[in-house]
Each structure stands twice: as C-alpha cells, then as structure tokens.
Amino acid sequence: MPRWTLEINSGTFSKSEKQEIANEVTKIYMDLGSPKFWVNVFFHEHDPENFYIGTKSCNNVFVVINHAARPFDSEEQRLGFLDRANTILKTFLEPKGLGWEFNVHEHPAVNWRINGLIPPVAHPEVLKEWVDKNEAIPY
C-alpha cells in the first residue's frame, strides 16, 4: 500500500509508458521513505464501449489512489501530494488529449498487513531494513 489503479481504455499506454508511470509513482513514496515493494500500480484496461462518463463513452482516465501506511500529516503535505500526483497524470495524459480524474482514499493502517506482518511504520529501524532489502522481513 499505496495502490494506484488506473482505469483506462485499451491501448491508452504502451508498455514503456506504463513502466514510466510506475517509476514516477514509486518515486513519490520512496522520497517519503517507503520501501519500493509497498507501491502497487494497476492498469485496468477497458474496451471503449465499456467506459462511460455520464451517458457518453469516453477516453478519459480515472485513477483511484489508496493509502494505508500513514495519513497526510498536514494540509500542506496533502496538497503537495495531490499536486505531485496531478503532475504525473498530466505529463502522460495531456499530450494524448485525455482528461483525468483521481481520488485518494486513506484507510486505517491497523487493517493493513504484508505477508501477515504489520508493516513497521512505527519502527524506523525495522522500516529501514525493509527499505534496504526491499522485502517484508519478520520482526
């Protein structure tokens, strides 16, 4: 966790564009000290006749961003994150003439597990080991 789910029409992105998006998304969380393996990016592809906004078939992109590791600490942090997320989407979508919408959902960290382990958000020394080894290590 975090998980970004991009609802897109088939063919919206090439394989390399998907990789670039995943790299940029992952960078946000690594800059905050999260292990790389916490970040999940899914591309759900749809046929255009299965994607509507209102009553009109469209080519827009809808993104759901789920967070569980930690809530935003301040309004400044929240707005900074929204700006950074928007910059990533704008970089890849605006040149294609596509619109986008995204929403961030914050979930209670107490409900989050990785391989049955409570992620060590409150244990900096363990978190550093998870970051360094890029895997969940029992503690």
CATH of residue 106's domain is 3.30.429.10
Q: Among all chains, which residue has been given the structure tokens 């989407």? A: 89
Whether 119 is covered by a domain: the verdict is yes
| Residue range 68-114, pLDDT digits in tens | 988 898 999 999 999 999 999 999 999 999 999 999 999 999 999 99
Percent of the chain with pLDDT over 70: 100
Whether 92 is covered by a domain: the verdict is yes
Domain residues for the domain of 21 are: 3-133
51 has a pLDDT exceeding 90: no
Q: How confident is the model at residue 52 (pLDDT cuts 50, 70, 90)?
A: confident
Residues 6+ apart with CB under 8 A from 38: 1, 2, 29, 69, 114, 119
Whether 139 is covered by a domain: the verdict is no
Percent of the chain with pLDDT over 90: 86
Whether 138 is covered by a domain: the verdict is no
Whether 57 is covered by a domain: the verdict is yes
Domain count, the chain: 1
Q: How confident is the model at residue 49 (pLDDT cuts 50, 70, 90)?
A: confident
pTM of the model: 0.92
Whether 67 is covered by a domain: the verdict is yes
**Average pLDDT over every residue of 117-132:** 95
Residues 6+ apart with CB under 8 A from 99: 58, 60, 61, 93
Torsional sign, CA 117, 121, 31, 20: positive
Whether 129 is covered by a domain: the verdict is yes
Whether 65 is covered by a domain: the verdict is yes
21 C-beta neighbours (distance < 10 Å), count:
20
